[in-house]
Chains A and B, each alone.
Chain A
């Protein structure tokens, strides 16, 4: 059995992190009870939340290769009961309710998803976003990652390939030869996973393309050897990114290096997704250093490949950029340090500029009609990137 999962993302042992979560919940709830025991005139139950202001600027950390804030600006917000506004009262109760759910999860050692929490009382929470925000704020206030709260994001990523996961001596996930969809698993401390037979990991933007490759057994038949296929279904969720990063960390000292490739559409979203996997998300800068995939290689699709293929097969699979696409590209060139003129990915920047020049974009599905299909094209691309 091969390398066990890498150490968790913070150096603090899990027991300590959970201890600080419990200490926080206890002291917060005790303080509230103290307040409530006072006379109504004197009582002022409140809860203080530490949160990050949206940073004005971000940069690429030279060490980790992750996008991070130039300067973290912290804000404190205090919500009290009964608040000055209806919003404040509502937010106060939302925080308390979620804190109670977390309290139970931590005490019983069970995991709860953000989605589960939202569906406990959708009318009250109003949106998934509310729940997500409060959880992130609480984790930041306590000074731990979300995992220490026993809260997980609902996974949406799928995996197939030469991968199996063992927990407490039982195989809990075996993604090999599986004809069913396997959700990207959450790897816990002490888990062992076996990817010794793999040579590569292909991260795919689209679910449909993923299914096509799975059906054709590309993870077994690839010229480059056996591998793992993963899709985050568009912009990836944290669990998918975390999982791929764990594969990177677990194999970084192996004698035979694993190659990590990305296959995305030739459009602004494709490049945005590629950037999210490799450098991190512009919206959640604080997580990036533990989720980025610095050795991810861009397989395609490039607009020039699409034009050549389209001309050869006679099919016209090229699409015109919309005004929104063009605006998005300009915003990406302007705001994402990864795509800056002196940034690390000159080819990505060029690709976006070529899209603007030609006013076209192309989807991966275009390569299905190619001679030898998408599979042979990936074979050649992987070979060329070696």
Chain B
């Protein structure tokens, strides 16, 4: 059963260079790129207008931006190793200088924020996994060591119970924030992992990368539930829909796919570009429609919505 997603609009040439990361709140999408500024786009107005530009956020460019569920806090990580915390009031973002100062020496690559915005998880080039409490002045509360392979991606489960990381050597780890490492290792990927994402309920972890297959793991047992095959290039990004029914993925050859978790099949493929799509994100489900945003080497943020009414 295929589904249709229609082009909803786009922020063309939102950045002068590759867009590396997108973060979505209920009303906005924040895009980060190789240029210093972060751009904030409204998703509640037609034409997705640019509502704010956070100029000079990261001098050498920014590779990750994440937000909490409420859209009150964002964290961005730059190529210079700089991490910045942002807070939002009435739809307007400003730098949280105090929190940023405490986190300036984090030495992390990928970052994730817990749903309530309190915990920041990060993984570093040498495979270290850290958790910081943003309510306690950014104090580090967890430090896990792995086998030293580059940590390319990290995710936190919605309840903040689990952290998952993906590494260059193909390893995927799950830790509980309470007790440390899980008693099983996740097998199945041998090539670099580039994206990990927990389902909204936290029962499934999706992981993918250079092996082009998306692997679904049961987070309580570590067993593989399914392999989703269909991409013919490296998978760069994964995102779950609000209900957990659908998984979104993007790859180095510009393909964007939607997968049904129920049937474990690909239900939609988009190929508007041949250039890498670095980041995809579902937009929170609203009365308006269910949709998603994509960003990558074509420098535009594209929005899609589900085709409704048959």
Give A contacts to B, CB under 8 Å: 304, 307, 311, 320, 323, 326, 330, 333-334, 341, 346, 349-350, 353-354, 356-357, 359
A-B contact pairs, 23 of them (CB 8 A): A307-B234, A311-B233, A320-B150, A320-B168, A330-B80, A333-B61, A333-B79, A341-B35, A341-B59, A341-B61, A346-B17, A349-B34, A349-B61, A350-B18, A353-B17, A353-B18, A353-B20, A353-B79, A354-B18, A356-B63, A357-B278, A359-B150, A359-B168
- Give chain A nearest CB distance to B2 CB in angstroms: 27
Q: Which residue of A lies closest to B276 (CB)?
A: A304
In the bound complex, CA of A357 to CA of B276 (Å): 12
Q: Which residue of A lies closest to B191 (CB)?
A: A316
In the complex, chain B residues whose CB is within 8 Å of the CB of A326: 125
B63 touches A357 (CB 8 A): yes
In the bound complex, CA of A326 to CA of B81 (Å): 11
In the bound complex, CA of A341 to CA of B17 (Å): 10
Known: A359-B152, A359-B168. A334 touches B16 (CB 8 A): no
Answer yes or no: B69 CB below 8 A from chain A CBs.
no
Contact with A along B237-269 (1 / 0, CB 8 A): 000000000000000100000000000000000
B79 touches A341 (CB 8 A): no
Contact with A along B17-58 (1 / 0, CB 8 A): 110100000000000001110000000000000000000000
Residue of B16, B20, B60 near A330 (CB, 8 A) is B60
Given contacts A350-B17, A357-B20, 7 further A-B contacts (CB under 8 A): A304-B252, A307-B252, A320-B150, A334-B59, A353-B34, A359-B150, A359-B152
In the bound complex, CA of A4 to CA of B5 (Å): 65
Q: Which residue of B lies closest to A353 (CB)?
A: B34
- Give chain B nearest CB distance to A311 CB in angstroms: 7
- Give chain B nearest CB distance to A329 CB in angstroms: 8
B17 touches A349 (CB 8 A): yes
In the complex, chain B residues whose CB is within 8 Å of the CB of A333: 60-61, 79-80
In the complex, chain B residues whose CB is within 8 Å of the CB of A341: 35-36, 59, 61
In the complex, chain A residues whose CB is within 8 Å of the CB of B34: 349-350, 353
In the complex, chain B residues whose CB is within 8 Å of the CB of A304: 252, 276
In the bound complex, CA of A346 to CA of B81 (Å): 20
Known: A311-B233, A341-B36, A357-B20. A330 touches B63 (CB 8 A): no
In the complex, chain A residues whose CB is within 8 Å of the CB of B59: 334, 341
In the bound complex, CA of A311 to CA of B150 (Å): 22
Contact with A along B271-309 (1 / 0, CB 8 A): 000001010000000000000000000000000000000
Residue of A307, A320, A334, A354 near B80 (CB, 8 A) is A334
Nearest 10 A-B pairs (CB), nearest first? A353-B34, A333-B60, A350-B17, A353-B61, A350-B34, A341-B36, A359-B150, A350-B18, A341-B35, A356-B79
Contact with A along B194-216 (1 / 0, CB 8 A): 00000000000000000000000
Q: Which residue of A lies closest to B149 (CB)?
A: A320
In the complex, chain A residues whose CB is within 8 Å of the CB of B192: 359
In the complex, chain B residues whose CB is within 8 Å of the CB of A356: 63, 79
- Give chain A nearest CB distance to B42 CB in angstroms: 25
In the bound complex, CA of A346 to CA of B20 (Å): 15
- Give chain B nearest CB distance to A332 CB in angstroms: 10
In the bound complex, CA of A307 to CA of B125 (Å): 22
In the bound complex, CA of A354 to CA of B276 (Å): 10
Q: Which of A307, A323, A357, A359 has the most CB of B within 10 A?
A: A357
Q: Which residue of A lies closest to B18 (CB)?
A: A350
In the bound complex, CA of A311 to CA of B233 (Å): 8
In the complex, chain B residues whose CB is within 8 Å of the CB of A350: 17-18, 34
Q: Which residue of A lies closest to B234 (CB)?
A: A307
In the complex, chain B residues whose CB is within 8 Å of the CB of A349: 17, 34, 61
In the bound complex, CA of A261 to CA of B127 (Å): 40
In the bound complex, CA of A258 to CA of B266 (Å): 51
- Give chain A nearest CB distance to B167 CB in angstroms: 11
In the bound complex, CA of A74 to CA of B20 (Å): 44
In the bound complex, CA of A357 to CA of B278 (Å): 9
A323 touches B125 (CB 8 A): yes
For chain B, residues 123 to 151, give those with C-beta under 8 angstroms from any C-beta of chain A: 125-126, 150
- Give chain B nearest CB distance to A249 CB in angstroms: 33
- Give chain A nearest CB distance to B65 CB in angstroms: 14
In the complex, chain B residues whose CB is within 8 Å of the CB of A330: 60, 79-81
Q: Which residue of A lies closest to B60 (CB)?
A: A333
In the complex, chain B residues whose CB is within 8 Å of the CB of A357: 20, 63, 278
- Give chain B nearest CB distance to A283 CB in angstroms: 22
In the bound complex, CA of A244 to CA of B128 (Å): 47
Known: A349-B17, A349-B34, A353-B79. A334 touches B276 (CB 8 A): no
In the complex, chain A residues whose CB is within 8 Å of the CB of B81: 330
B168 touches A334 (CB 8 A): no
Q: Which of A304, A307, A333, A350 has the most CB of B within 10 A?
A: A350
In the bound complex, CA of A304 to CA of B192 (Å): 16
- Give chain B nearest CB distance to A87 CB in angstroms: 38
Q: Which residue of A lies closest to B34 (CB)?
A: A353
- Give chain B nearest CB distance to A296 CB in angstroms: 21
In the bound complex, CA of A354 to CA of B59 (Å): 16
In the complex, chain A residues whose CB is within 8 Å of the CB of B276: 304
In the bound complex, CA of A132 to CA of B252 (Å): 47
Q: Which residue of A lies closest to B36 (CB)?
A: A341
In the complex, chain A residues whose CB is within 8 Å of the CB of B234: 307
- Give chain B nearest CB distance to A354 CB in angstroms: 7
In the complex, chain A residues whose CB is within 8 Å of the CB of B20: 353, 357
Q: Which residue of B lies closest to A311 (CB)?
A: B233
In the complex, chain B residues whose CB is within 8 Å of the CB of A320: 150, 168
In the complex, chain A residues whose CB is within 8 Å of the CB of B18: 350, 353-354
In the complex, chain A residues whose CB is within 8 Å of the CB of B125: 323, 326
